[in-house]
Amino acid sequence: MAKFTSRRAGRRRRWALAAGLVLVTGCGGGGDGGTGPTPPSTLPFERFDAGFFVLDKPVGWEVTLAGGCTTLAFRVCDPRDPLRQIFYFGTVGPVYLCQEQQDLDAWYVAHGGFPPTWLDAPVVDPLTPRNFLAHWPDIASMEAAADFMAEFPRLQDLALIAVTPRAALLPDAATADARGLFGQDGRVGEGMFLATVKVFFPYNGNPGAGTGYGHFVCGVTAPKGEFAAVAERLVASLESFTVTGDYVDWCLQQSQQTWGAVAAAGRTLSEASDIIWEGWQARSHSQDISAEQWSDGYRGVERVYDPDTGTVYEVPVGWYDQYDLDRQAWDMSGLQPLPADAWEIWMRAVLDGAGNIH
């Protein structure tokens, strides 16, 4: 793996994702553009034993492993629907702290400097958990990310509905959980995520500086509309992650890992799981409405309802404006847009307007 040597700074650093890759099994690619198979209502578990850690995972879901020790990562997903997944990354990065550093590194390489493996990393300025998660699709598109894990969760078009700061899981770091929506093949996934971020090397005007990392980055996702029913089980699977004592000892002997991260990994994931679950339970009505609105916009639809019956219908974006110009031509002439703050109406089941509005 390529290393970056700064001629001025005389320091070596590497992309933390590019540790040894171990691919156990892999999930499928994009979805079919439909709703996807309905999961078992209880998501029964089976034990996955990698030899150095164990995990209770949903039956039939596949596991991808990568890295080791503090860069250990795994993704568990349903081969029938990649929107259903659980993932954990011990360390992700580096990312750039400022545009000046990215420009400096590009200039350095253009003038004969040895290229860092993170030259295509995004600028996360300022380095906060919110910004780090918001840039996750950019991180996932990096060459080093694909080299590290072929099944790297991409979370395309990720939109964060709510972000809550939490007590930092590492010294001199920042931690937050987030509720987010993302798209894939015209479908919408929903999830809860957690990230801790920490500056690795401040910007100082030298090539190779100005970088930071994400640590203990994890998430659980499912198709929107299904997530609420399976969130608790997904979090329980994440929480079950347990590393063996022998592996902890081996990792510590190899590199004397800072923060004792490997030894704390099981406890940290337990804490992270609790935080994710608390964040989901604490969601507000306004967040729920924002999630529904983002999902509608992503799919190119909007909702109208009948105030007399309370029935909600889904129609293409722009349909209501045309309907309103000539509503008397319709038998159902009293339809209205959903009130922006009417949570109960936004949470109702939706009928297809094409087949039910006349």
Average pLDDT over residues 265-288: 87
Domains contained in the chain, number = 2
pLDDT digits (tens, 9 = 90+) for 173-184: 999 999 999 999
Same domain, 233 and 319: no
Residue where one domain finishes, among candidates 227, 252, 284? 284
pLDDT band at 41 (very low <50, low <70, confident <90, very high): low
Average pLDDT over residues 334-353: 96
Distances (CA, A) of 23 to 26, 59, 64, 214, 216: 7, 19, 5, 22, 20
Same domain, 319 and 271: no
Same domain, 118 and 234: yes
Is 294 inside any structural domain?
no
pLDDT band at 12 (very low <50, low <70, confident <90, very high): very low
Is 331 inside any structural domain?
yes
Is 290 inside any structural domain?
no
C-alpha 111: how far from chain center: 36
Same domain, 268 and 213: yes
Is 293 inside any structural domain?
no
Residue where one domain finishes, among candidates 284, 313, 347? 284
Q: Which long-range contacts (CB under 8 A, 24 or more apart) does 249-252 make?
A: 251/68, 251/69, 251/70
Count of beta carbons in the 10 Å neighbourhood of residue 244: 15
Same domain, 140 and 244: yes
The pLDDT score that the predictor gives to residue 167 is: 92
Q: Which of 33-47, 62-76, 240-254 is the least confident region?
A: 33-47
Distances (CA, A) of 8 to 3, 16, 39, 145: 15, 22, 55, 27
pLDDT digits (tens, 9 = 90+) for 99-110: 999 999 999 999
DSSP label at residue 123? B
What distance in Å separates the CA atoms of residue 71 and residue 88, rounded to the nearest whole number?
Answer: 10
Same domain, 277 and 315: no
Mean pLDDT score across all residues of the chain: 87
Same domain, 37 and 167: yes
Is 289 inside any structural domain?
no
Is 292 inside any structural domain?
no
The pLDDT score that the predictor gives to residue 129 is: 98
Q: Structural domain of residue 318, as residue ranges?
A: 300-356
pLDDT band at 276 (very low <50, low <70, confident <90, very high): very high
Q: Which of 28-37, 104-113, 123-132 is the least confident region?
A: 28-37
Same domain, 37 and 80: yes
C-alpha 10: how far from chain center: 35
**DSSP for 285-353, written as a single string:** HHHHHHHHHHHHHHHTEEEEE-TTT--EEEEETTHHHHHHHTGGGSSSTT-EEPPTT-HHHHTS-EEEH
What distance in Å separates the CA atoms of residue 53 and residue 305, rounded to the nearest whole number?
Answer: 51
Same domain, 40 and 145: yes
The pLDDT score that the predictor gives to residue 299 is: 95
Model confidence, pTM = 0.88
DSSP label at residue 71? G
Is 349 inside any structural domain?
yes
Under 8 Å between Cβ of 136 and 156:
no
pLDDT at position 4 over 50:
no
Same domain, 193 and 338: no
Same domain, 330 and 198: no
pLDDT band at 23 (very low <50, low <70, confident <90, very high): very low
Same domain, 311 and 215: no
